[in-house]
Amino acid sequence: MLKLSCNVTNHLHTFSFFSDSSLFIPVNRRTLAVSSSQPRKPALDPLRAVISADQGSISPVNSCTPADRFRAGRLMEDGYSYKEKFIVRSYEVGINKTATVETIANLLQEVACNHVQKCGFSTDGFATTLTMRKLHLIWVTARMHIEIYKYPAWSDVVEIETWCQSEGRIGTRRDWILRDSATNEVIGRATSKWVMMNQDTRRLQRVTDEVRDEYLVFCPREPRLAFPEENNSSLKKIPKLEDPAQYSMLELKPRRADLDMNQHVNNVTYIGWVLESIPQEIIDTHELQVITLDYRRECQQDDIVDSLTTSEIPDDPISKLTGTNGSATSSIQGHNESQFLHMLRLSENGQEINRGRTQWRKKSSR
């Protein structure tokens, strides 16, 4: 029998994407056979559902973990998406008294992990299916894209909705929508793509039908995208940044606190490293609006990393004519938005860890 953990609603609650975690919820193959032969039913809320693979019955059980009693999260009526509210803490804000992008990224991870646990499987946070665990397979991040339209301030309450679904034959995806809990205004969106890796050989592996069947039962039947717009920025390819870069921060070293439960550098740490080589004049006058990262290599505790940044000039004839000294930076700073290409590489041999793109908007007067 497979137990699905309870869903507690209406409780007050005061975003690493782990390289191997926070994605999908598997079910037992025998349970799947029962589910696939019957119409899908919404997840039971707020009780724990016990699914009998032999009898095909679902019975509620009143049982909750202590965390469930305090966590302000719930599965939605469709049983596929999950929402949770978070208060922005004082230690999660920056110099502007608003949440940092690292805070946003950590909240995205947290709500994804809680979604997995709320559905009653992978309570270790790694979202591996039964078949994946048998074959020593894990999920790793391939791309992360975050857009922030309005940063929440200290003490603001943010509601984040997340769901997962298939992404072709070689991967999966998870999406998020962030809202101001007081106004229901959408203040941010995010999407991510994940691929499967053999934990022993560290080689990528195609998602098999068996693994796909184990998590698709918890995914929306019809595709649902946080960015449904055609040609949206989450789809844009990121060109490799070529040397010499305009800005750099060399020999960054992972701290012990940067490691996740798998002893790998936490994905949120990469965001911080990318921002280290942003020129100070941009930090002083702009705020980050969009960040996209393509992950290409794992980073271990003993690795030393270089962060490289170069201004990217949009295909806009006006922006190309702006500026006083002909430099890429000055020509783009004449506008309200600035855009940069990034690369993290190993200092020792120059191997690429990830590449990225950021877009910045002028800070509003407060």
Single out the residue in 234, 260, 295 at which a domain terminates: 234
Q: Mean per-residue pLDDT for 99-116?
A: 93
Are residues 155 and 110 part of one domain? yes
Answer with the one of 213, 234, 255 that is the final residue of a domain: 234
pLDDT, mean over the chain: 78
Pick 351 or 79 by higher pLDDT. Answer: 351
Burial of 239-264, coded b for 16+ CB within 10 Å and e otherwise, reads eebeeebbbebeebebeeebbbeeeb
Count of residues in the chain: 366
How far from the centroid of its chain's Cα atoms is residue 322's Cα?
Answer: 35
Average pLDDT over residues 182-207: 92
Q: What is the pLDDT of residue 366?
A: 56
98 domain-assigned: yes
Same domain, 102 and 200: yes
Other C-beta atoms within 10 Å of 73: how many?
Answer: 25
Determine, yes or no, domain membership for 277. yes
Q: How many CB atoms lie within 10 A of CB 272?
A: 16
Which residue range forms the structural domain that includes residue 169?
Answer: 66-234
328 in a domain, yes or no? Answer: no
* pLDDT given at position 3: 39
Q: Which residues have a catalytic role annotated? A: 262, 264, 299
Residue 276 sits in the same domain as residue 225: no
| The pLDDT of residue 38 | 42
My answer on whether 221 and 253 are in the same domain is no
Q: How confident is residue 124, by pLDDT bands cut at 50, 70 and 90? A: low
Stretch 101-106: mean pLDDT: 97
Is residue 240 located within the same domain as residue 221? no
Nearest to 298 by CA among 141, 138, 191, 119: 141
Judgement on whether residues 180 and 258 belong to the same structural domain of the protein: no
Span of 53-57, 106-110, 225-229, 342-346 with lowest mean pLDDT:
53-57
Q: What is the pLDDT of residue 335?
A: 57
Alpha helices in the chain (DSSP H): 29-36, 66-70, 101-118, 130-134, 209-216, 267-276, 280-285, 317-321, 328-333
DSSP state of 57: -
Same domain? For 342 and 286 the reply is yes
Is the same domain home to 241 and 230?
no
Q: Are residues 171 and 123 in the same domain?
A: yes
| Amino acid 120: pLDDT | 66
Residue 314 has what pLDDT? 59
Task: Say yes or no: 346 and 202 in one domain.
Answer: no
pTM of this structure: 0.77
Domain count, the chain: 2
Please write the tens of the pLDDT for every residue from 242-253: 889 999 999 999
Confidence of residue 290 (pLDDT cuts 50, 70, 90): very high
pLDDT tens digits, residue range 53-68? 333 332 333 346 777 7
Q: Please report whether residue 327 resides in a domain.
A: no
Whole-angstrom distance, CA of residue 14 vs CA of residue 75: 19
Secondary structure class of 115 (helix, strand, coil): helix
Tell me the per-residue pLDDT of 152-180, one tens digit each, with 9 for 90 and over.
999 999 999 999 998 877 788 999 999 99
Looking at the fold, whether 202 and 303 belong to one and the same domain comes out as: no
Q: What is the mean pLDDT of residues 144-157?
A: 97
- For residue 251, what are the contacts with CB-CB under 8 A and spacing of at least 6? 304, 305, 306, 347
pLDDT digits (tens, 9 = 90+) for 17-43: 444 443 433 333 333 333 333 444 444
Residue 97 belongs to a domain: yes
Rounded to 5 degrees, φ, ψ at 282 are: -75, -45
Q: Which residues of 78-107 are buried (b: 16+ CB within 10 A; e: fewer)?
A: ebbbbbbbbbbeeebbeeeebbbbbbbbbb
- Classify residue 26: in a domain, yes or no: no
Query: What's the confidence (pLDDT) of residue 208?
Result: 87
Would residue 330 count as lying in a domain? no
- Mean pLDDT calculated for residue range 96-119: 91
CATH at residue 273? 3.10.129.10
Please identify, among 234, 259, 275, the residue that sits at the C-terminal boundary of a domain.
234
Residue pair 26/129 in contact (Cβ under 8 Å)? The answer is yes
Same domain, 152 and 263: no
Q: Let me know if residue 31 belongs to a domain.
A: no
Q: In the numeric block, which tokens belong to residue 80?
A: 């596929």
* Cα dihedral 346/350/353/354 (nearest 10): 130
Rounded mean pLDDT, 87-91: 96
Of all residues in the chain, the percent with pLDDT exceeding 90 is 46
- Span 291-338, pLDDT tens digits: 999 999 989 899 999 999 999 975 543 333 333 333 333 344 445 789
Report residue 220 as tokens.
């929306």
Peptide bond into 46 cis (omega under 30): yes
Q: Which spans in 16-92 are helix H?
A: 29-36, 66-70
Least confident of 25-34, 59-68, 258-267, 349-358: 25-34
